Amino acid sequence: MRRSRLLATGIIGSILAALCCFTPILLILFGLAGFAAWTGYLDYVLMPALVFFIGLTVYAYMKKEKGNGECCNQNKDGGDG
């Protein structure tokens, strides 16, 4: 997976998980869909998902920063060929 795509996945996932944790969007949607009984278990899923996506964002950002100059430093002396 490309680094920019990994970073975008982490950012989008973090935003969605934070939105669902801190606003009653899922409560309304689950109530409308008939799954209101599941709302008691949302904290067991959403908080670990938020932590995972924030970690994924940090990991992808660190890899992107670390990998910025590595590709251009190869074969500066003319190479083998």
81 domain-assigned: no
Residue 11 lies in a domain: yes
Q: What is the mean pLDDT of each run of 10 residues along the chain (81 residues)?
A: 79 81 72 80 80 88 72 54 48
Whether residue 29 lies inside any domain: the answer is yes
Q: Is residue 78 part of a domain?
A: no
In a domain, 56, yes or no: yes
Domain count for the chain: 1
Q: How many CB atoms lie within 10 A of CB 7?
A: 19
* Residue whose pair of structure tokens reads 């709302």 in the numeric block: 39
pLDDT of residue 74: 53
How far is the C-alpha of 19 from the C-alpha of 13, rounded, in Å? 10
Residue 44 maps to a domain: yes
- Its domain, for residue 41, covers 3-66
**Residue 76 located in a structural domain:** no
Q: Is the pTM of this model over 0.85?
A: no
CA distances from 78 to 1, 59, 74, 75, 81 (A): 30, 34, 9, 6, 8
Residue 27 included in any domain: yes
Query: Residue 9: its pLDDT value, please?
Result: 86
Rounded to whole angstroms, the Cα distance separating 46 from 20 reads: 7
What pLDDT sits at residue 27? 76
